[in-house]
């Protein structure tokens, strides 16, 4: 199956297509190393293949997860054959802040619960506010983690994540309230079938509870994540199937009521992928915004996930005109999950150079769009990237890598200079 046809199935659904969501396979080419960073990860190798098996993964691969199982990350760390490293030292977030209006640069982090927070080199960089002024919890605020039993909320992980960011003065994009993936078992396998009324009540309770509990400690919430198929039609999620398309408006209406009840400033976003360039899906996302606006329901921004492939990233001009289509509706945009993966491993020197250009075009598009508030990468270190387990044989998508594996020094790739060049190109 080609990457493109896999993409039409949805990033988060891919592991189910590829086999067990908890298993990643990588060809054991001469230059490929496989490293495991958590005690529950087992690695078995044969002459031609390497199999990594873990009790969880850092991406959206688990549809019904008991909270205790989603605790580790796998890492397949493939060093390039030639590495040009970054020369710019100003810092991603410092460069973003120097624009007018100022922007942020941030990263997702799968904390707590993975090897990331036990890796001192990873943590030192995460805490480096010259580079990162914003954090997104990769998993810990998702439904399976925050409401593991119906009506029983678990805020511990989210609180820890917020405390970490707050200690650094980093803002947090809270992620996410309503998504078809990584739902708790009780929701996907109810003892009594849901009706539109019962599932609506469950959704309203979840949204209200989390928005009110975390309040303005969240800079923004992704209220609904990935509601659309690539052709622009509704994705047939449990919410869509049981409640109908009105679940979308109900979710935002509920979020708006919570914001109002507590007098909050938190921004409400819609977040999706393949809406970074004009096409049916981007148009459909714009129509979702218009639909809310026509009912006077609050929507503050649209998150453009931006999971790209080296050499296949939409051009800067394309990304800018697409952003303009959203901001023209009166909402902010944010790049929320940027990574630019290599379709083959190891990447060639030419691909490393292209990766720099690709990071530059997305950051440059944001810099040139007044209402693009910032750019978030979906983690910054290949060691903890979700990509190799979801797209076997692909990777090298992040801004740093660890040639020696976990718990060893980070190397800043030449792609990092693309980020700085992107901010500096801002008008
Ligand atoms: C989607 C989700 C994220 C994350 C990534 C993969 O893009 O929005 O929360 O799960 O997939 O890691």
Predicted local distance difference test score (pLDDT) of residue 46: 27
Model confidence band, residue 412 (pLDDT cutoffs 50, 70, 90): very high
The CATH number of whichever domain residue 34 belongs to comes to: 3.20.20.80
Q: What does the mean pLDDT of the chain come to?
A: 85
Per the model's pLDDT, the better-predicted residue between 66 and 222 turns out to be 222
Of 116, 147, 337, 352, the active-site residue reads 337
Average pLDDT rounded to a whole number, residues 244-263: 98
- Does 334 have pLDDT greater than 50? yes
Task: List the catalytic residue out of 125, 147, 226, 276.
Answer: 226
pLDDT tens digits for 88-140? Answer: 889 999 999 999 999 999 999 999 877 899 999 999 999 999 999 999 999 99
Active-site residue flag, 337: yes
Question: How far does the centroid of ligand 1 lie from the alpha carbon of residue 46, in Å?
Answer: 31
The range of the structural domain enclosing residue 46 comes to: 3-424
- The ligand 1 site (C-beta within 6 Å) comprises 11-12, 59-60, 175, 225, 273, 305, 337, 386
Domain total in the chain: 1
Q: Write the pLDDT tens digit of every residue in 13-45.
A: 333 222 222 222 222 222 222 223 332 222 222
Which residue's alpha carbon is at the smallest distance from atom 10 of ligand 1?
60
For residue 78, what pLDDT is reported?
Answer: 63
- pLDDT number for residue 86: 87
**pLDDT of amino acid 77:** 52
For ligand 1, what atom is nearest to the CA of residue 60? Answer: 10
CA of 181 to the centre of ligand 1 (A): 9
Q: Is the pLDDT of residue 4 over 90?
A: no
- What number of residues does the chain have? 427
pTM of the model: 0.85
212 annotated active-site = no
Q: What is the pLDDT of residue 84?
A: 80
Residue 391: CB atoms within 10 A of its CB come to: 23
**pLDDT tier for residue 406 given thresholds of 50, 70 and 90:** very high
User: How far is the centre of ligand 1, averaged over its atoms, from the C-alpha of 277 (Å)?
Assistant: 19
Q: What pLDDT was estimated at residue 52? A: 29
**Rounded to the nearest whole angstrom, what is the distance from the C-alpha of residue 59 to the centroid of ligand 1?**
5
Q: Name which residue leads in pLDDT, 376 or 3.
A: 376
Model confidence pLDDT, tens digit, residues 133-166: 999 999 999 999 999 999 999 999 999 999 999 9
Report which of residues 50 and 346 the model is more confident about: 346
Q: Which pLDDT belongs to residue 114?
A: 78
Strand-strand pairing, 49-53 and 42-45 = antiparallel
231: pLDDT confidence band, cut at 50, 70 and 90?
Answer: very high
Q: What is the pLDDT of residue 328?
A: 98
Give pLDDT, residue 232. Answer: 98
The predicted structure's pLDDT at residue 98: 97
pLDDT at 278: 98
Position 50 scores a pLDDT of: 27
Report the pLDDT averaged over residues 346-368.
97
pLDDT at 125 (0 to 100)? 98
Residue 82: per-residue pLDDT: 65
What pLDDT is stored for residue 167 in this prediction?
98
Name which residue sits closest to atom 12 of ligand 1, judged by CA.
Answer: 59
Query: In this model, does residue 9 exceed pLDDT 70?
Result: no
**What is the percent of the chain with per-residue pLDDT over 70, rounded to a whole number?**
81
SS (H, E, C) the chain: CCHHHHHHCCHHHHHHHHCCCCEEEEECCCCECCEECCCCCEEEECCCEEEEECCCCCCCCCCECCHHHCCCCEECCECCCCCCECCCCCCHHHHHHCCCCCCEEEEEECCCCCHHHHCHHHHHHHCCCCCCCEEEECCCCCHHHHCCECCECCCHHHHHHHHHHHHHCCEEEEEEEECCCCECHHHHCCCCCCCHHHHHHHHHHHHHHHHHHHHHHCCEEEEEECCECCCCCECCCHHHHHHCCHHHHHHHHHHHHHHHHHCCCCEEEEEECCCCCCCHHHHHHHHHHHHHHHCCCCCCEEEECCEEECCCCCCHHHHHHHHHHHHCCCCEEEEEEEEEEECCCCCCHHHHHHHHHHHHHHHHHHHCCCCEEEEEECCCEHHHCCHHHHCCCCECCCCEECCCCCCCCCEEECHHHHHHHHHHCCC
């Amino acid at each position: 199956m080609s990457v493109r046809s896999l993409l039409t199935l949805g990033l988060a659904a891919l592991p189910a297509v590829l086999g067990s969501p908890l298993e990643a396979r990588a060809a054991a080419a001469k230059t490929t190393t496989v490293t495991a960073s958590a005690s529950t990860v087992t690695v078995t190798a044969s002459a031609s293949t390497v199999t990594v098996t873990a009790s969880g993964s850092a991406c959206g691969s688990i549809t019904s997860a008991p909270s205790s199982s989603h605790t580790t990350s796998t890492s397949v760390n493939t060093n390039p054959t030639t590495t040009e490293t970054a020369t710019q030292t100003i810092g991603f977030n410092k460069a973003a802040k120097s624009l007018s209006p100022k922007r942020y640069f941030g990263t997702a982090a799968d904390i707590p619960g993975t090897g990331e927070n036990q890796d001192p080199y990873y943590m030192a960089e995460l805490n480096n506010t010259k580079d990162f002024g914003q954090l997104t919890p990769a998993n810990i605020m998702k439904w399976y983690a925050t409401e593991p039993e119906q009506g029983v909320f678990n805020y511990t992980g989210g609180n820890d994540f917020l405390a970490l960011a707050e200690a650094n003065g980093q803002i947090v994009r809270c992620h996410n309230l309503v998504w078809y993936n990584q739902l708790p078992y009780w929701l996907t396998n109810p003892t009594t079938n849901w009706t539109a009324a019962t599932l609506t009540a469950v959704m309203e309770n979840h949204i209200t509870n989390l928005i009110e509990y975390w309040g303005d400690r969240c800079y923004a919430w992704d209220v609904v994540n990935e509601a659309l198929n690539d052709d622009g039609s509704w994705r047939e999620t449990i919410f869509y199937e049981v409640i109908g398309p009105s679940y979308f408006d109900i979710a935002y209406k509920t979020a708006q009521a919570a914001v109002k009840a507590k007098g909050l400033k938190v921004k409400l976003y819609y977040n999706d992928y393949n809406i970074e360039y004009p096409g049916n899906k981007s148009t459909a996302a714009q129509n979702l915004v218009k639909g809310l606006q026509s009912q006077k329901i609050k929507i503050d921004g649209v998150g453009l996930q931006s999971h790209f492939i080296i050499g296949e990233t939409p051009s800067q001009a394309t990304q800018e005109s697409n952003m303009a289509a959203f901001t023209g509706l009166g909402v902010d945009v944010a790049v929320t999950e940027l990574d630019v993966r290599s379709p083959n491993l190891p990447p060639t020197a030419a691909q490393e150079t292209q990766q720099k250009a690709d990071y530059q075009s997305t950051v440059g598009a944001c810099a040139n769009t007044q209402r693009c508030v910032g750019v978030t990468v979906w983690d910054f270190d290949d060691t903890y990237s979700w990509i190799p387990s979801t797209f076997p044989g692909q990777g090298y998508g992040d801004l740093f890598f660890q040639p020696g594996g976990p718990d060893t020094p980070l190397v800043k790739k030449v792609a990092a200079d693309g980020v700085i060049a992107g901010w500096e190109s801002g008008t």
